[in-house]
Amino acid sequence: MMYNIGMDYTNKDFLERRPQRLCLMCGRCCRMAVASIPHSELLKKTEEGDESSKEFLEIFEPYATIEEALKADEATVKNIPDWENRTFYHCRFIRDDNLCSRYETRYEVCRIFPSSPWAVIPPNCGFRGWMFNEVEAHKRKIRKLKEESVYYNAKLKTNIPNKEKQLYKKLIDKISERVKLYEKYGSQYW
C-alpha cells in the first residue's frame, strides 16, 4: 500500500460505504508498503517530530534491498509507480498466518485502508473491483456536471434576463470548483 505521509486520510463517506467483507485477509498490503517520500526524508522528518513519519516507521521496517522486496511480492512492487527508485517496507506486526498481531490496537492508518477510491492497492486486493466502480462513478458525476456547464454556457450567449445570467454564472463556478477537487485524479480529462 502507498502511504501519503502527512496527508489526512479520512474520507468518511467512502469509509462508511466500503464493504469490509471484500478484504481477503491476504496481508499483502501489510507486507509491502511504500511511503510517498524517500526513506532518508522519513528519518529526517521523524527526528523533527513529524507524527505521520514516526508512525510509519513504528509500523514498518524497510526491506534490506529492492531484490528482497521483489522476492517477497514482485507483482505488488511492480504495481507501484517508479518502483525501481523506492524503498519498500514490511510490517513488524503481521503474523505468519497473515493476520495482524495487534488487530484490536492497530493504527488508524491500518483501520481505514484503503481510504479512498484512488488508494494504491496490491494487484489482487479484494477491494479492486469495487474501487474501480467507485472511481468510474466519480468520473460519471464529473462528466455530467461538465455537460451541464456546457448547457449553462450556451444559455449565457442567449438573450436572457441578467438575473438568470447571474444564476448560470454561479452554477458554472460551482462546477469548476467541483472538477478542481478531483484534478489530481485526472478530472480535467474526464
Q: Which residues bind ligand SF4 (CB under 6 A)?
A: 23-30, 59, 91, 93-94, 100, 102, 106-107, 110, 121-122, 125-127
- Supply the minimum distance, in Å, between the C-beta of residue 111 and ligand SF4: 8
Check if the beta carbon of residue 11 is closer than 8 Å to that of residue 118: no
- Supply the minimum distance, in Å, between the C-beta of residue 129 and ligand SF4: 11
- Longest CA pairwise span in the chain (Å): 71
Q: Which residues of 53-79 are buried (b: 16+ CB within 10 A; e: fewer)?
A: bebbbebbebbeeeeebbeebeebbeb
Q: Which three cell numbers stand for residue 83?
A: 518502483
CB closer to ligand SF4, 126 vs 178: 126
- In the chain, what is the straight-line distance between the N-terminal and C-terminal CA atoms, in Å? 26
CB closer to ligand SF4, 91 vs 142: 91
CB closer to ligand SF4, 50 vs 55: 55
- Supply the minimum distance, in Å, between the C-beta of residue 1 and ligand SF4: 7
- Supply the minimum distance, in Å, between the C-beta of residue 125 and ligand SF4: 3
CB closer to ligand SF4, 17 vs 169: 17
Q: What CA–CA distance (Å, rounded) separates 125 from 119? A: 11
CB closer to ligand SF4, 27 vs 187: 27
Q: What CA–CA distance (Å, rounded) separates 167 from 185? A: 29
Tell me the sheet residues that pair with 34: 2, 88
- Supply the minimum distance, in Å, between the C-beta of residue 32 and ligand SF4: 9
